[in-house]
Amino acid sequence: MIPAMLVAGTHSGVGKTTVVLGLMAALKRRGLVVQPFKVGPDFIDPTHHTAICGRTSRNLDTFMMGAEGVRRSFSRGVKGADVAVIEGVMGLYDGLEATEVASSAHVAKTLDVPVILVINVHGMSRSAAAVALGYTLYDPEVRIEGLILNQVGSERHLTMLREALDLPIFGSLPRNADISVPSRHLGLTMGFESDHDLDALADFVEENADLGRMLELGCEVPPHEPLPEASGEGVKIAVAYDEAFCFYYQENFDLLRALGAELEFFSPMHDDLPEVDGLYLGGGYPELYAEELERSGTRHQIKRAAEDGMPIYGECGGLMYLGESVISGEKEHRMVGVLPASTIMTRRLQALGYVEGKVVGENPVVATGKTIRGHEFHYSRMDCARDARFAYRFTRGKGILDDKDGLTEQNALGSYLHTHVYSYPMDRFMKGCREYRGR
C-alpha cells in the first residue's frame, strides 16, 4: 500500500493542473518523496511535475499502454517514493470517443486508486452538489473519495457549499489570478521554461487544503514483470534532447536501456552528433528553433550518417527535422534533408487524437504486419515528393498524407506518430543498430 491519489476534473479548464502542481510542491516541501504521473499521452504537464518533484513523471495511458502497461508503469514508478500523485486528463470520464478507454476513470479503476474531484464552483452553490452526486453515481467502481472546490468566492459561498455537499471537502481554493501556468500553441509551456514560484504554489494549497486527510488515501502497488534482459552486444544510441526536442516517454528510455542501449543525450542545436550506432529524435518544437537548427552543422553530420546507413527514428518534431525544410510564413529554413518532404507550419490544428494502424512497408524500427498505436498532435502539414515511401497505413488518425504515415528513406523513419514502447516494440531498431555497429 502506498499513499496515492488521482486528481481529476469535472472537465478541462477547472484548474486541475494548478491544483496538482501546488499539491506536489506542498508535499515535496514537507520532505516527502513524491512520484508524479499523468493520465494520457501529454508530454508537457509531466515536465512541470518533474521540475517540481525531482522525479521523472510517467504517463499512464490505457489506449497506448493497455491496462497491464499502466500497472507496470505505476509499479516501477513508485519504487522509493513516499506518495504518488496522478494528474488526470480532461474530464474524469472523458475517454476515446464514447468509451472509458484512455480516461482518468479507466486509469483509476485499473489501479484501484482513489480520486479527488476538482470542481470549479464559480457561480454555483447547491448545483455543485448535483454535479458531485452525478460524478459519484455514474460509475460506482470509480472511488471518488473527496472534492477540491476551486474558485470559491467568499466564506459565505463556502458555507453554502459545505451545507449542500455530502462528499468530504479536501480543499476550498479561493480565486487567485496570480496562481496560473502560461500556455502556448501545443499547451502549457515546458517545465524547464517555467519560473514557478514553488513556495507560492505550495502555500496556496497548504493554506486551503487538508493534506493530512489526502495522505490517508492510498492503493496497493500491483506486482510487475521485470524489464527484459539485454540479448546481444550493447549499442550506443544518440537521443536529441534540448529545447527543440523534448517529447519522450520515460519507459521508452527504460526499455531501450534494458535491451542493451547506452543512451547519449545531445543537442542538435549546440552539439556534434556523438559517435553512435543509431539516432532517436523525439518530438518538440523544432519550428521555434528552426534558425538555430539550420545554422548548426549537426544537420549535415546526421545526413552523412543516414547516407552511411545508420538507423534513425524521428517522431513528429524529429520527422520535421529529418525533412528538407521547415516553412513558416515567408521564412524557409533548411533541415537535415534525409526524408523527401518539407514541413509547412499552419495556424490551424491539423491533427489531434489517438492513432491506430498497420505497418505496411519496410522500415528500420518495427516489422511489417504489426498493429501500432500512438498519438498525433501537430500544427503543420507535409509536402512530400511524389515517390515518397510510407511504412504505416492508419485506420484511425490522419497521418502525413491520406492516412499514410511513417516516411522512410535509406535506413531512416520519420512519423507524426508519438509512440509508447508498450504498444510499439523497439527491438527491431536495436537489431539494426547492432548490425550497423558490426559492419
Q: Which grid coordinates are listed for 295?
A: 545554422
- Contacts of residue 359, defined as CB under 8 A and 6 or more positions apart, other chains included, come to 366, 367, 368, 369, 370, 372, 391, 392, 406
What own/partner pairs with CB < 8 Å and gap ≥ 24 does 121-124 have? 121/149, 121/150, 121/151, 121/152, 121/157, 121/161, 122/150, 122/151, 122/153, 122/175
Beta strands 245-247; 351-359: pairing state: unpaired
Secondary structure of residue 174 in the 3-state scheme: strand
Residue 314 contacts residue 268 (beta carbons within 8 Å): no
Q: How far apart are CA 232 and CA 9, in angstroms?
A: 47
Secondary structure of residue 66 in the 3-state scheme: helix
Q: Tell me which of 53, 219, 246, 316 is the catalytic residue.
A: 316
433 is catalytic: no
Residue 409 contacts residue 390 (beta carbons within 8 Å): no
Residue 102: CA atoms inside 13 Å, Cβ hemisphere, count?
18
CA distances from 270 to 212, 232, 245, 294 (A): 46, 33, 12, 11
Q: How far apart are CA 90 and CA 8, in angstroms?
A: 8
Among candidate residues 113, 112, 91, the one with its CA nearest the CA of residue 103: 91
Helix, strand, coil shares, percent, the chain, to 5: 30, 30, 40
Q: How far apart are CA 173 and CA 204, in angstroms?
A: 8
Other C-beta atoms lying within 10 Å of the C-beta of residue 47? 22
Q: How far apart are CA 192 and CA 69, in angstroms?
A: 28
Q: Which grid coordinates are listed for 164?
A: 449542500
The DSSP symbol for 388 reads -
Among candidate residues 283, 287, 335, the one with its CA nearest the CA of residue 313: 283
Residue 322 contacts residue 406 (beta carbons within 8 Å): no
Catalytic residues: 316
